[in-house]
């Protein structure tokens, strides 16, 4: 296609015959028109020229006077109808196509901006010394420090670099070409500067368009070396000047070494040597063309952002493979691959997965903080939150920032003191080696995560949150009866009442035997028990029945409203994102009625969030870890705020429903022997889940809250699911070790805070809405002589 625009034939030009449009049939001197010029416009132009050269009218011919014009002048109507003479230069633009007009205007605009910034460019050229760009002369990366909410207690430190410099002479040419083809296939043919990239930066800087420009490899290295992240025409101009100076002082091979030894490939890998080991477990010199092209694709955007998943094959397989093909096609275009070699390339079958500690590796986590607290998993959440921040994550790692978290040092210490094996006074001390605990605490009124303990290994499996292992999302644990708080809330929302009655006796529903963990019907209510009673005594049958009556969709919707984001199906092991627009729960699929009493796994942090929402009277606050991010002020010891906390509480559960749930849950801790010091009001719920095909337990929970702190504690096994026992040898249960850990933590974390009461019972729902067909059993009246008392049927008993 020619530069004249979008034309369907020939060279993109259309011609006008000599006679066409010419008045009185006078030839148009063989002239043709170019570009997309409107026919009427061209006709006016021809008429203008003809009129200018036409002879004057015959002598003696009088002009017709007009009423509203000067003597001898044409009327306004005739003036309006007469052809207009073009303004000098405007006809040139009119004759151009839209695409050419846009190009000319863009270039003119960019030229204006560049001229406007010429002073800065001149200063850069004469002041900036190109030697400062040599890798050995670059300033050391400034570590970024992570603090507790007091801004003083350091929890972690970022900034260690995973790099290894290698000489370019050991890399085969094909490997070098594959590494740069996607970014700059003309590397060996230019002098370090991309004019189009500068023009694009100028245009986008004003219009608000995409800030990524087509920089050369040399320009990209300048950006790495100067750590200049400002996206503007002035940054591009300075970058171009320094790139040009770099090209004047060093050969292409040296500049390529500067770039490939310092560019970031994701997964914590800086430079091609570490990248080769990270993705393929081999040295860079041993990479194949196809493998090198994978790295050449990754380098464009190695990590996920809020808007794009990046080009890491494990994070975004389809996009990674597409860009891999783009890299190879560029190699072919540059003459580095012939057709046969290009067609012979196959996408590598083996690319190493992201390590379990990928978040910490990518962030360069260096140990724990000065307190010795195990907060490594918190770094992963910080990275997740800051994806949408107004700066680049890679720069944040080494930019000397201060990140103040929501973690309360006192609460974190209390969590570890209770739940971390080996911590002084820990209740995990002496427990069997396969037993693990996890604890998360959240402030209900804000959603701030006050304490987070996900296991002994801060860079390993997170038992309190989510993990990606072997390409699958893992991390949840069956919640057992502790999940009943969401089922109860769903029932109240659906019109049931705390006083609605159900028969708690075990029964068979198709292929399933629905039982109450081996317990019989309680004599206190027999076969006619309220939902309140079933919650306090943790009977499964009523919750299965009410879930079947409502539909599981009501239960999962309530769980989502409270803060449960993910549930795992125990059949196929698949994780379902309840917050996704594509998630759809029918009355019984993908989760069945067993969801009503907690068969399906959830995470500890989600469960803590759910309890917090109820404690906050149905107002949900998204759990978060970042209070603020501060950037150092160059040349000083001061910092400036670049990102602050944004609270957005939302009423997701009716206040009356939440109040009634809290009313019931306040009756449970004391009944299980887990009251807090003083008379502090507190909610709580136990949960226990049996191992498959056994009568022993694998998972146990205790969750609950004061008005100020909501906490969830899980105790289970490490690795493959197996039975978990207390150190005494008895089966684990929610009221046992998890309840003791929760009580120890809550007493320490709430110490010194005011005692606050929960709202009174709201009494929502209809007490007459109950299990269909259920009849209240007749109670025998009082009689003086037992022989004359009416007889009654004995109470039915079954497994509970």
Catalytic residue set: 183, 481
Tokens of 635: 């040349």
Tokens of 497: 């009442």
Question: Which among 556, 589, 353 has a CA at the least distance from the CA of 472?
Answer: 353
Burial class for 265, CB neighbours closer than 10 Å (0-12, 13-18, 19+): buried
Whether the Cβ atoms of residue 731 and residue 457 lie closer than 8 Å to each other? no
Q: CA 638 → CA 145, 226, 401, 630, 635, distances in Å?
A: 14, 21, 11, 9, 9
Question: Which among 330, 335, 371 has a CA at the least distance from the CA of 214?
Answer: 330
Count the neighbouring beta carbons within 10 Å of the beta carbon of residue 371: 15
Q: What H or E segment, with its residue span, contains residue 491?
A: helix 484-493
Question: Which among 82, 378, 132 has a CA at the least distance from the CA of 258?
Answer: 132
Tokens of 643: 């990102």
Please list the residues that pair with 690 across neighbouring strands. 697
Whether the Cβ atoms of residue 75 and residue 113 lie closer than 8 Å to each other? no
Question: Which among 532, 538, 457 has a CA at the least distance from the CA of 700?
Answer: 538
String of DSSP letters for 561-611 = HHT--EEE-TTT--EEETTSTT----SSSSS-GGGGGT-SEE-HHHHHHHH
- DSSP state, 717? E
Q: What count of Cα atoms within 13 Å lies in the side-chain half-sphere of residue 600?
A: 28
Q: CA 691 → CA 289, 520, 698, distances in Å?
A: 50, 21, 5
Q: How far apart are CA 583 and CA 659, in angstroms?
A: 29
- DSSP state, 687? E
Taking only Cα atoms into account, the Rg of the chain, rounded to an integer number of angstroms, comes to 37
Q: How far apart are CA 630 and CA 404, in angstroms?
A: 8
Residue whose pair of structure tokens reads 């101009």 in the numeric block: 237
Q: How far apart are CA 363 and CA 381, in angstroms?
A: 11
Q: What count of Cα atoms within 13 Å lies in the side-chain half-sphere of residue 404?
A: 16
Whether the Cβ atoms of residue 310 and residue 301 lie closer than 8 Å to each other? yes
Tokens of 81: 């109808």
Count the neighbouring beta carbons within 10 Å of the beta carbon of residue 249: 13
Long-range contacts, stretch 567-570, CB < 8 angstroms, 24+ apart = 567/476, 567/591, 567/595, 567/600, 567/601, 567/602, 568/476, 568/600, 568/601, 568/602, 569/600, 570/478, 570/599, 570/600, 570/601
Count the neighbouring beta carbons within 10 Å of the beta carbon of residue 231: 15
Q: Cα angle vertex 194, ends 189, 199, to 5°?
A: 155
């Amino acid at each position: 296609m020619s530069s004249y625009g979008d034309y369907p034939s020939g060279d993109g030009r259309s011609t006008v015959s000599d006679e066409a449009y010419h008045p009185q049939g006078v030839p148009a001197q063989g002239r043709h028109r170019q570009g997309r010029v409107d026919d009427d416009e061209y006709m006016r132009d021809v008429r203008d020229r003809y009129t200018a050269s036409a002879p004057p009218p015959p002598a003696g011919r009088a002009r017709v006077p007009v009423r509203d014009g000067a003597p001898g002048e044409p009327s306004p109507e005739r003036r309006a109808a007469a052809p207009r003479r073009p303004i000098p230069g405007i006809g040139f633009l009119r004759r151009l196509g839209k695409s050419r007009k846009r190009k000319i205007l863009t270039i003119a605009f960019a030229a204006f901006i560049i001229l406007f910034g010429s002073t800065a460019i001149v200063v850069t050229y004469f002041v900036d010394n190109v030697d400062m760009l040599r890798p050995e002369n670059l300033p050391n990366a400034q570590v970024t420090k992570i603090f507790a909410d007091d801004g003083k207690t350091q929890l972690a430190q970022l900034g260690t670099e995973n790099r290894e410099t290698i000489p370019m002479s050991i890399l085969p040419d094909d490997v070098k070409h594959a590494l740069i083809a996607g970014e700059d296939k003309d590397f060996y043919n230019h002098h370090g500067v991309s004019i189009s990239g500068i023009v694009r930066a100028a245009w986008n800087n004003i219009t608000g368009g995409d800030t990524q420009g087509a920089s050369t490899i040399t320009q990209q290295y300048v950006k790495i070396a100067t750590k200049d992240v400002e996206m503007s025409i002035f940054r591009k101009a300075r970058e171009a000047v320094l790139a040009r100076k770099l090209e004047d002082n060093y050969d292409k091979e040296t500049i390529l070494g500067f770039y490939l030894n310092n560019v970031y490939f994701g997964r914590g890998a800086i430079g091609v040597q570490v990248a080769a080991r990270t993705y393929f477990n081999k040295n860079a010199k041993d990479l194949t063309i196809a493998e090198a092209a994978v790295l050449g694709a990754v380098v464009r955007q190695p990590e996920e952002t809020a808007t794009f998943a990046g080009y890491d094959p494990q994070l975004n397989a389809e996009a990674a493979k597409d860009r891999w093909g783009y890299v190879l096609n560029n190699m072919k275009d540059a003459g580095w691959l012939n057709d046969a070699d290009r067609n012979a390339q196959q996408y590598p079958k083996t690319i190493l997965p992201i390590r379990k500690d990928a978040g910490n590796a990518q962030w360069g986590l260096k140990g724990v903080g000065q307190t010795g607290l195990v907060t490594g998993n918190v770094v992963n959440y910080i990275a997740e939150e800051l994806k949408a921040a107004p700066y680049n994550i890679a720069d944040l790692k080494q930019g000397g920032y201060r990140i103040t978290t929501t973690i309360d040092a006192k609460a974190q210490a209390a969590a570890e003191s209770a739940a971390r094996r080996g911590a002084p006074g820990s209740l995990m001390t002496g427990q069997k080696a396969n037993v693990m605990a996890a604890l998360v605490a959240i402030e209900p009124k804000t959603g701030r995560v006050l304490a987070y303990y996900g296991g002994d290994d801060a860079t390993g499996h997170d038992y309190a949150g989510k993990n990606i292992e072997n390409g699958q999302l893992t991390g949840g644990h069956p919640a057992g009866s502790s999940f009943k708080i969401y089922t109860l809330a769903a029932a109240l929302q659906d019109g049931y009442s705390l006083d609605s009655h159900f028969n708690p006796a075990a029964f068979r529903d198709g292929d399933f035997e629905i039982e109450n963990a081996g317990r019989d019907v309680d004599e206190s209510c027999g076969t006619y028990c309220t939902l309140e009673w079933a919650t306090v005594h943790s009977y499964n049958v009523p919750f299965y029945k009410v879930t079947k009556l409502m539909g599981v969709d009501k239960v999962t919707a309530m769980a989502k409203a409270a803060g449960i984001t993910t549930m795992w199906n125990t059949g196929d092991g698949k994780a379902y994102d309840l917050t996704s627009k594509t998630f759809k729960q029918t009355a019984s699929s993908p989760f069945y009625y067993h969801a009503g009493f907690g068969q399906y796994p959830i995470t500890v942090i989600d469960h803590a969030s759910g309890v917090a929402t109820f404690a906050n009277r149905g107002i949900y606050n998204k759990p978060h870890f970042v209070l603020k991010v501060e950037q150092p002020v160059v040349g000083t010891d001061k910092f400036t705020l670049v990102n602050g906390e944004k609270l957005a509480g939302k009423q997701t559960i009716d206040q009356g429903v939440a109040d009634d749930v809290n009313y019931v849950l306040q009756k449970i801790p004391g009944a299980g022997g887990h009251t807090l010091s003083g008379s502090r009001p507190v909610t709580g719920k136990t949960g226990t889940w049996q191992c498959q095909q056994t009568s022993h337990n694998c998972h146990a929970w205790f969750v609950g809250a004061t008005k100020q702190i909501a906490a969830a504690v899980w105790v289970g096994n490490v690795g493959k699911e197996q039975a978990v026992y207390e150190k005494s040898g008895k089966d684990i249960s929610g009221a046992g070790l998890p309840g003791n850990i929760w009580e120890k933590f809550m007493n320490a974390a709430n110490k010194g805070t005011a005692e606050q009461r929960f709202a009174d019972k709201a009494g929502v729902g209809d007490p007459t809405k109950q299990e269909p067909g259920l009849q209240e059993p007749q109670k025998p009246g009082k009689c003086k002589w037992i022989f004359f008392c009416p007889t009654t049927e004995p109470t039915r008993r079954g497994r509970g």
